[in-house]
Structure 1
Amino acid sequence: MLEPTSDNTAIVLILVLTVLCAIWLEKNTKTFEKIGAAALSILIGMLLSNVGVIPGESVVYDFFRGPGVLAGITLFLLTVDLASIRQAGGPMLKAFLLGACGAAFGGAAMGFLFVDAIGPDTWKLSGQFAATYIGGGVNFAAVGQALDTSSEYFTAGVAADVIVTAIWLIACITIPEFFGKRDPQIESSTLGKPVEGADAKSAIGSLLYSSGKPITLRDLAMLMSIVMVCMWLSRLISTWVPIIPMIIWLTTLVLVLAQFRVVKNLSGALVLGNYLLLLFLATNGAVSVIARIIEIGPAIFYFALGTVLIHGVIIFGVGIMLKIDSTVIAIASQANIGGASSAMAIAGARGVPNLILPGIAVGLLGTALGNYVGLLLANVMKIFIG
């Protein structure tokens, strides 16, 4: 008899079913629609692990948290058209950059505050939390892998990130309600072409859940070739120039390739990247054994919460002083904290589908920017507290 707690095939089966369940719940239930498949994948994985259906450790998890997530990151970055970032418009881009500064400042401040409570990996967590709160959870994994963060702190950090991100998602849905009437400017074309009704759903689907056109065998072959070449080449270059981490070479190579028309025309990169990301998140849920997190202590949770609160004070406080609409700020904040998918969720929840594309644009910018800022901050913090 095959036991899920020891059989790798059974573990993979449960993980893919976890992602399928999360997607179904998001698409078919109003309650879980706002939570999103990303958070649901983590929560279901965490539940299954903590009740003993799947183990807290497995070589399967090592794959999805290593090569698997790197492939997902590569596929996501292949969709970043640097020229199209201008679609985000001045207000959205300003709010996003404010949020990025807030995340970096928050990561540094929490590092100094919790260095005694956490210990030698504190400088790494400063970089990881700054990175993840600039462009979403993919960056936490990328920077953590580059810095070789210890598994127990990585696991606790993921769990803290899940909880804090969920709390902030709710906050970003409700905060704009306290700032009065919506600015008419957010309906203008300067923030992106308005999308309404069925077209809004189509726009969302074409970005993360559907390629919008058939995915051909050639597309898949090209995408997999690009992913493997970039991963191999970036690892090779990092051995020649070890002072620069592999993830920086990978990010740079992919962003350069993403600007070529032949790559832009490939179908399915974002869908495949999103699927790998969901598997990665389900895996992180599985390794988030609550007993182990409690054993480490609450300091990492407070680290994550403090980073997000500082981000929130800066992005909403300064943003409102600059007269940026609170809904635009909320979407930009979620692009920072949860990535492109969270920005989409807020745009839908706030009833502004015309801001879906701008939100995704800055979310993808955050995915690209977060790795650079996170690694830079970590190495600066290492000088002071390492």
Structure 2
Amino acid sequence: MENSLIQADDLLTLWGIIVIVAAMSIVLEQKYSWAGKISGAVIALVSAIILSNTGIIPTASPAYDAVWAFIVPLAIPLLLFHVNFKKIWKESGRMLLIFLISSIGTVAGTILSFFLLKDTIPFLDRIGGMMGASYVGGGVNFAAMTAKFDAPEDLVSATVVADNLMMALVFITLMAIPTFGFFRKTYPHPHVLQVEREAESNGGKTNAENFWKRQDISLKDMAMSLGTAFFLVVVATKIAEFFAGIIPSGEEVGFGWNLLSGLIGDQYLVLTTLTFLALALFPRYFEGINGSQEIGTFLIYLFFVVIGIPASIPLIVQNAPLLLVFVAVIVIVNLTVSLTAGKLLKYDLEEILLVVNANVGGPTTAAAMAIAKGWRELIGPILVVGTIGYVIGNYIGTTLGLWFATMM
């Protein structure tokens, strides 16, 4: 809506609303059991959709652009700082395998959906790359691929509408599956049973509140977290700009050059790769930083608010129905592949559902689900495994998008 109560150039007020909505979502999630079941991410998205559709805030503003340009890149390294390569296989190796299989389900679903709808949805090559990356790693990858493929803004907004609605439906479905007798009979579910046994002894606190308890965080921790994150972002941006400038790209060069340029000339891919390299070389330095997970998670909540803002109701009616079908096919194939592989490989139901959540929404939303459901032993592993999606998601989305472009 162009005639909004708050104008697009009122940056202070808009930033205030973004931060307040994010904070409100986190507080509600930790204070009320109903909000914990929905998850703070969904509350942030829905709140933003309501604010923009009622004309309180505009659907576009430089304030939102700043979140995409600065907040998202900062959140990536902050959320990766405590990933330990040695512990990935020791603590999360089992879940990592089903996560990678689930990611294959996303790729298969994206390819199938693209060929079904490529003649009916414009720019589906770009949308396919964006959603292929998003449904491997989550919203951070969606932001990266949106900036990379430069799809028309109205189509991106419609995709956000479809994606937001699909994410909400997926979360509700995944939260409900453990209550169905069929799945209880078909899959082992030890964490569900444990929570049911402990249901009467949680001390009156929500699971989210129990997980995000007070940490020993100093001013030095905050300085090191943000300073290191900014350093990595700046270096990665300069490296990406350098390679983007010397590697040829465009329609006049072949697929191989475009792929190479898309991979090592992309800010987000270079950033994630550089962060993991730093973690491997200086593990003790990053182990000594507290609070990066909390800061990074809060920044991601700001992103949740902003991606919900362009989701206008008219766009749902005009453009989103077919896009909703497009993302629905991806999710259905992903869930089918994950449940089938999980059954054959004898995975617990909770592990399967969390990796699907991590694919579609990212590690933060998957951890939020684990927290909400009380699956404490799986919170750490899904955060570790889910961050792998940040890395491989952008590579997968770039490859799919460039491949799809040759068939449009």
Could you tell me which residue of structure 2 aligns to residue 360 of structure 1? Answer: 383
1:223 lines up with 2:244 in the alignment: no
Using the alignment, how far apart are the partners of 2:338 and 2:296 within structure 1?
A: 28
Report the more deviating stretch, 341-350 or 166-175: 341-350
Could you tell me which residue of structure 1 aligns to residue 128 of structure 2? Answer: 126
| Contact 2:236–2:267 (Cα < 8 Å) also in 1 | yes
Using the alignment, how far apart are the partners of 1:8 and 1:233 within structure 2?
A: 28
Q: Give how far 1:139 is off.
A: 1.2
| Contact 2:36–2:207 (Cα < 8 Å) also in 1 | no
Could you tell me which residue of structure 2 aligns to residue 250 of structure 1? Answer: 271
2:183 maps to a residue whose letter is: F
1:10 lines up with 2:13 in the alignment: yes
Using the alignment, how far apart are the partners of 1:280 and 1:349 within structure 2?
A: 21
| Contact 2:74–2:296 (Cα < 8 Å) also in 1 | yes
**Distance verdict in 2 for CA 1:248–1:316, change over 3 Å:** same
Could you tell me which residue of structure 2 aligns to residue 190 of structure 1? Answer: none
Which of the numbers 206, 215, 218 marks the counterpart of 1:212? Answer: 215
Report the more deviating stretch, 353-362 or 300-309: 353-362
What's the RMSD between the two structures over aligned residues?
A: 2.6
Could you tell me which residue of structure 2 aligns to residue 63 of structure 1? Answer: 66
Using the alignment, how far apart are the partners of 1:39 and 1:352 within structure 2?
A: 20
> TM-score normalized by structure 2?
0.83
Which of the numbers 251, 256, 270 marks the counterpart of 2:293? Answer: 270
Could you tell me which residue of structure 1 aligns to residue 315 of structure 2? Answer: 292
Using the alignment, how far apart are the partners of 1:72 and 1:344 within structure 2?
A: 16
Which of the numbers 151, 154, 158 marks the counterpart of 1:152? Answer: 154
| Count of residues paired in the alignment | 372
| Contact 2:189–2:349 (Cα < 8 Å) also in 1 | no
Could you tell me which residue of structure 1 aligns to residue 248 of structure 2? Answer: none
2:216 maps to a residue whose letter is: K
Which of the numbers 164, 170, 179 marks the counterpart of 2:183? Answer: 179
Could you tell me which residue of structure 2 aligns to residue 373 of structure 1? Answer: 396
Which of the numbers 306, 329, 343 marks the counterpart of 1:306? Answer: 329
Q: Give how far 1:305 is off.
A: 1.1
Using the alignment, how far apart are the partners of 1:53 and 1:184 within structure 2?
A: 45
**Distance verdict in 2 for CA 1:185–1:303, change over 3 Å:** same
Could you tell me which residue of structure 2 aligns to residue 240 of structure 1? Answer: 242
| Contact 1:110–1:303 (Cα < 8 Å) also in 2 | yes
1:73 lines up with 2:96 in the alignment: no
Which of the numbers 109, 113, 118 marks the counterpart of 1:110? Answer: 113
Using the alignment, how far apart are the partners of 2:81 and 2:160 within structure 1?
A: 25
**Distance verdict in 2 for CA 1:202–1:50, change over 3 Å:** closer
| Contact 2:39–2:372 (Cα < 8 Å) also in 1 | no
1:183 maps to a residue whose letter is: P
> TM-score normalized by structure 1?
0.88
**Distance verdict in 2 for CA 1:297–1:3, change over 3 Å:** closer
Percentage of pairs with the same residue: 29
Q: Give how far 1:61 is off.
A: 0.7
Q: Give how far 1:87 is off.
A: 4.2
